[in-house]
Amino acid sequence: MAGCVSRVELSVSCQSLLDKDLGSKSDPLCVLLQDLGGGQWAELDRTERIKNCQNPEFCKKLVVDYYFEKVQKLKFGVYDIDNKSFDLNDDDYLGGIECTLGQVVSSSVFTRPLELKQGKPAGKGTITISAEEIKDTRVVYLEIEAQNLDKKDFLGKSDPFLEFYRQSDAGTWQLVYRSEVIKNNLNPCWKKFSVPLQTFCGGDFNKPIKVQCADHDSDGSHDLIGTFETTLTQLQKGDSSPVEFECIHPEKKQKKKSYKNSGVIRIKSCKIETEYSFLDYIMGGCQINFTVGVDFTGSNGDPRSPDSLHYISPDGINEYLIAIWSVGSVVQDYDTDKLFPAFGFGAQVPPNWQVSHEFALNFNPSNPYCQGIQGIVDAYRQILPQNRLYGPTNFSPIINHVARFAAHSAQQGTASQYFVLLIITDGEITDLDQTRQAIVNASKLPMSVIIVGVGEADFKAMEFLDGDNGVLKSVTGEPAARDIVQFVPFRQFKNAPREALSQTVLAEVPKQLVSYYRWQGWPPVKPPEAKTM
């Protein structure tokens, strides 16, 4: 198993960004990418977007796993976001830098000029990054409302939002959380939110916290309503009964003797809970069960013909085999028995040549397990000349097959088993509606689905299943409880190192595993030893 990694939180701010918007300032967002090798970059995280701001201090921290033994090449890109799409290709690039995580962690503050491309500066723009190791997995949950806030807008009520700042060791105030804006309301109730304890106060319950309430203006010139200082110890008193703080506007207080306050902020609840990481679950005894589904439909072409996707080249490989090796070699480390069920779909299988959508690669339906990744590869090679490629391309039977096992495991009510299904296909899916329903059902179970598309087909349906552009819904409109599908076309990795494919397809699995157990409220089977203050 990979060595335990440190998690590092990166705080990002920029100065003097280029101005790309006519009539207003840019609306920047910073994205963090990691080099996978072979010219492939994968997004690790991104900050929030800040409207009308050329000197943004981003509130959302970028979290990255730090491996001492790897050169982790990072790319920070700053974009002017003018639309709602997740894709950054249609947004203006304000500049970026490439560096290594080692460079960042070894500098207390890391500032570099932004470049539009190598050697071409992005005006006077700079980016500053500071790193902090996350040593604490506790999280602060807060529910806050306000009453009788000052009216700041000429034509309507205020549009209030909150900002929380913690005091750094140097005495400066660092933004740790910014709430949503509640329009036209002097008695707002903000959504419950959470901030990692380390971010919120560095784990120090008595560290000063400054809370600001302001009236949001779309041009970025927000008006202060009022402010107060507190500590987490004081906020925690809101756990038993609400705690109230007067919101004070310093200038108004100076000017008016009769000034009382600009409203009252009520802490409805303040709770501290432990959030477990992927490694907490893995080290706590969670097994990852790996299942493979291989597409044997006619559109792959006759396996004996060199232009078939199932043709095994003289050096003994094809895209199916590379995908099995690449993904399996990583996942197998997390499964102690190394017995992996492997299935085919879309072929006519002996002896009666019926079309099957979930036949065991080893032709043993009562025991479809292969010994190790090599066992899957051997079974695949043996079955290839014995079945007839046919159709249609139905995914739902194999997804439902794994889901039955996942459902059985979930009934135990412990974080002991998680299921990863790898489907390798040439992409022409037939039962899209049934597959959507199968994925929506599976999203409520401890499982993830990885789809690797081989060949040159149009993979629109696969990208749709991936759900990156919005929540996947079943035909009846039921949304997936969580995003569990990751799709990648193999052709993007043809010239990349072998590990690039597995790093990309498996990148989402830790997040998906943790999101499931968090949703269920299940701790690791053996939780890490509780931290003492």
- Of the candidates 247, 274, 301, which is a domain's last residue? 274
Asked if residue 392 has a cis previous peptide bond (ω within 30° of 0), the answer is yes
Give the model confidence (pLDDT) of 475-504 as tens digits. Answer: 999 999 999 999 889 998 888 876 788 878
**Above 60 in pLDDT, residue 3?**
no
d(CA 79, CA 76): 10
465 falls within a domain: yes
Q: What is the pLDDT of residue 6?
A: 67
226 falls within a domain: yes
527 falls within a domain: no
Give the model confidence (pLDDT) of 379-420 as tens digits. Answer: 999 999 999 999 999 999 999 999 999 999 999 999 999 999
Q: Are 82 and 91 in contact (CB under 8 A)?
A: yes
Q: Give residue 369's domain range.
A: 279-520
Q: For residue 118, with 0-12 CB atoms within 10 Å meaning exposed, 13-18 middle and 19 or more buried, which class applies?
A: exposed
d(CA 255, CA 420): 64
Q: What is the average per-residue pLDDT within 55-72?
A: 84
483 falls within a domain: yes
Amino acid at 436: R
Of the pLDDT bands very low, low, confident and very high (cuts 50, 70, 90), residue 135 is low
216 falls within a domain: yes
- Asked if residue 125 and residue 151 are part of one domain, the reply reads no
472 dihedral zone (left: phi>0; alpha: psi -120 to 50; beta)? beta
Q: Quick one: which H or E segment has residue 445?
A: none
Q: What is the pLDDT of residue 2?
A: 37
Q: What is the pLDDT of residue 468?
A: 61
533 falls within a domain: no
Give the model confidence (pLDDT) of 259-312 as tens digits. Answer: 999 999 999 999 998 888 786 788 688 989 999 999 999 999 999 999 999 999
At which residue do the structure tokens 């079309």 appear? 355
Q: How many CB atoms lie within 10 A of CB 179?
A: 18
- Asked if residue 101 and residue 162 are part of one domain, the reply reads no
- Of the candidates 134, 160, 176, which is a domain's last residue? 134
First vs last C-alpha separation in the chain: 30
530 falls within a domain: no
For position 466, which CATH number holds? 3.40.50.410
Instruction: Look at residues 401, 399, 408 and name the one whose alpha carbon lies nearest to residue 440.
Output: 399
Mean pLDDT computed over every residue of the chain:
89
- Asked if residue 160 and residue 70 are part of one domain, the reply reads no
Of 103-112, 145-154, 343-352, the poorest mean pLDDT is in 103-112
**Above 90 in pLDDT, residue 13?**
yes
- Asked if residue 515 and residue 463 are part of one domain, the reply reads yes
- Asked if residue 369 and residue 290 are part of one domain, the reply reads yes
- Asked if residue 251 and residue 395 are part of one domain, the reply reads no
Q: What is the pLDDT of residue 84?
A: 79
* Percent of the chain with pLDDT strictly greater than 70: 94
At which residue do the structure tokens 């570099």 appear? 112
- Asked if residue 334 and residue 396 are part of one domain, the reply reads yes
Q: Are 262 and 225 in contact (CB under 8 A)?
A: yes
Q: What is the pLDDT of residue 532?
A: 34
- Asked if residue 372 and residue 322 are part of one domain, the reply reads yes
Q: What is the average per-residue pLDDT within 157-175?
A: 92
Token pair, residue 476, equals 């009846």
- Asked if residue 152 and residue 61 are part of one domain, the reply reads no
**Above 50 in pLDDT, residue 1?**
no
Domain tally, the chain:
3
pTM strictly above 0.85: no
- Residues linked to residue 212 through DSSP beta bridges, in sequence order: 163, 227
The torsion angles phi and psi of 276, rounded to 5 degrees, stand at -90, 150
Q: Are 493 and 504 in contact (CB under 8 A)?
A: yes
Tell me the longest C-alpha to C-alpha distance in the chain.
95
Q: Are 259 and 252 in contact (CB under 8 A)?
A: yes
The single-letter DSSP state of residue 524 is B
Q: What is the average per-residue pLDDT within 132-144?
A: 84
Give the model confidence (pLDDT) of 231-241 as tens digits. Answer: 999 999 877 78
Give the model confidence (pLDDT) of 448-480 as tens digits. Answer: 999 999 998 878 878 778 766 678 889 999 999
- Asked if residue 515 and residue 372 are part of one domain, the reply reads yes
Q: What is the average per-residue pLDDT within 73-90?
A: 88
d(CA 235, CA 244): 9
- Asked if residue 359 and residue 252 are part of one domain, the reply reads no
> To the nearest 5 percent, what fractions of the chain are helix, strand and coil?
20, 35, 40
d(CA 515, CA 359): 31
Q: Are 29 and 48 in contact (CB under 8 A)?
A: yes
Of 147-156, 341-350, 357-366, the poorest mean pLDDT is in 147-156
**Above 70 in pLDDT, residue 47?**
yes
How far from 257 is each of 228, 252, 253, 254, 463, CA to CA, in Å?
Answer: 19, 9, 7, 7, 63
- Residues linked to residue 164 through DSSP beta bridges, in sequence order: 177, 211
d(CA 512, CA 418): 10
Give Cα 290 to chain centroid, integer Å.
Answer: 21
For position 173, which CATH number holds? 2.60.40.150
- Asked if residue 384 and residue 261 are part of one domain, the reply reads no
Q: What is the pLDDT of residue 55?
A: 96
531 falls within a domain: no
At which residue do the structure tokens 């052709």 appear? 491
- Of the candidates 103, 134, 165, which is a domain's last residue? 134
Give the model confidence (pLDDT) of 318-333 as tens digits. Answer: 999 999 998 888 888 7
